[in-house]
Amino acid sequence: MGKGNVVDPATELQHNPSNKINRLKVLGILLTAGGLIVFAYFVYAVGFDEIYEGVVRFGIAGFAVILILHLLRIYVRAFAWKLSVHDPYSLDIKDTMPAVVIGEAMSSTIPLGILISGTSKAIAVRNRIPLVAGLSSVATENLFYSLTTSIFLIAGGITLLRGFAIDESVVFTINFLIVAVAILVILGFIMVIRQWHFASETCEWLYQRGFLTRLLENGRLDVRLFENLIYDFYRRYPRRFLPICLFEMIYHFVGIAEVWFILSRLTGAFPNPVHAFLLESVSRLIAVLFKLVPFMMGVDEAGAQFVGHTVALAAGVGVTLAIIRKGRILFWTAVGILLVIKRGFSLREFSRSAERQPPA
């Protein structure tokens, strides 16, 4: 074979730095197609007429209430992010709230939303703080959110195991997830305390061996700065820990209140708060596991139906609940897209920045 036919792996990687991104796009598209099939199945299984009657019974007034409840959730995460910004920079709630709406819209609408969401928030406030500082503040808030979400998921798993009779195979899966999440929480604490620079050291290792040299020539320094800003926050602002965690927990409690309210409208009775807690915790788990699926199409309905069946809710209530919440997501996604258009951003700009920047 002639020398001209040999492809240098380093050169190949340099010319195709977005190969991994493209594979994730393909995976996201496949998951979206699968989600649509699952969604159609549950609508067929429950019955369109029954779902329609449930939505009508919930009503416009009920929908307005859950829109307001979600606005409160946006506010508390926006305030938690505001507290996560590192001096000498700062953001106001009027900066972070629209950015959170934009980030949620990007996360919901496109298969690559898991990568673009955090980056789009930072881009939305780049006229107020530098992009790297914005990304580090988003990542810091996401760490607090991940911590509280992990505790929420563990509590939900334990409640489901101890309070209800479920299949043995599901018991094993839930126990596995509880252990896995607990280990990740412990590793996260150790990582922050010991200040492990996984991302920047990996970038440096690749750069020294000739991989992605053009991308990493300056990029590895940005990644190091990104990590340092995050770790420095935990040393300099210990008094912010509790308030940020409190806001993140309020986010979850409002989610439980939203589920409880929807159940009360659909069933016409006083719902068991434990049922609302389990439905919300499963919804959070699905949001973590299936973030690549736009609007969590199909998978959210599957999770709600599983919990509804487990806690003996009336047939179809779980699926109807998931569809109503999907309507709320569609509303706020539309608001986010309008903000994107008004500010002159584009999906391509968000996608390119997600490929260049460290994940947030």
Residue-wise pLDDT for 191-210, tens only, equals 777 777 777 788 888 878 88
For a pLDDT cut of 90, what percent of the chain falls above it? 34
Question: Within a domain: residue 182?
Answer: yes
The total of structural domains in the chain comes to 1
Listed in sequence order, the DSSP H helices in the chain are: 9-15, 19-46, 48-83, 93-109, 113-124, 131-163, 168-194, 198-208, 213-236, 241-267, 273-289, 299-310, 317-342, 347-356
Q: Please report the pLDDT score of residue 254 as a whole number.
A: 97
Distances from the Cα of 302 to the Cα of 35, 130, 181, 192, angstroms: 10, 41, 22, 36
* Token digits of residue 343: 């500010």
Distances from the Cα of 230 to the Cα of 139, 197, 235, 326, angstroms: 7, 11, 9, 33
Q: What is the mean pLDDT of the chain?
A: 82
Q: Domain of 323?
A: 9-356
Provide the 8-state DSSP code for 313: P
The mean-pLDDT minimum among 29-38, 93-102, 138-147, 302-311 falls in: 29-38
Question: Within a domain: residue 334?
Answer: yes
Q: How confident is the model at residue 13 (pLDDT cuts 50, 70, 90)?
A: very low
In three-state secondary structure terms, 92 is: coil
For the segment 295-300, the average pLDDT, to the nearest whole number, is 76
Cα 19 from chain centre: 23
Question: Within a domain: residue 4?
Answer: no
Distance CA 338, CA 162 (A): 45
Question: Within a domain: residue 309?
Answer: yes
Question: Within a domain: residue 2?
Answer: no
Distance CA 210, CA 114 (A): 29
Cα angle for residues 293, 74, 64 (degrees, 5° grid): 90
Give the count of beta carbons closer than 10 Å to the beta carbon of residue 2: 5
Distance CA 92, CA 104 (A): 19
Q: Please report the pLDDT score of residue 12 as a whole number.
A: 41
- Of residues 11 and 278, more confidence is placed in 278
Q: Please report the pLDDT score of residue 114 as a whole number.
A: 62
Sequence-distant (6+) residues with CB within 8 A of 125 are 91, 95, 96, 99, 134
Q: Please report the pLDDT score of residue 51 as a whole number.
A: 85
For the segment 32-46, the average pLDDT, to the nearest whole number, is 79
Q: Does residue 315 surpass a pLDDT of 80? A: no
Question: Within a domain: residue 226?
Answer: yes
| In contact, 354 and 16? CB cutoff 8 Å | no
Question: Within a domain: residue 210?
Answer: yes
Q: Please report the pLDDT score of residue 1 as a whole number.
A: 45
For the segment 62-83, the average pLDDT, to the nearest whole number, is 96
Q: How confident is the model at residue 4 (pLDDT cuts 50, 70, 90)?
A: very low
Q: Please report the pLDDT score of residue 187 as a whole number.
A: 84
Q: Does residue 28 surpass a pLDDT of 90? A: no
Q: Please report the pLDDT score of residue 321 as a whole number.
A: 92
Does the model's pTM come out above 0.85? no
Q: Please report the pLDDT score of residue 303 as a whole number.
A: 84
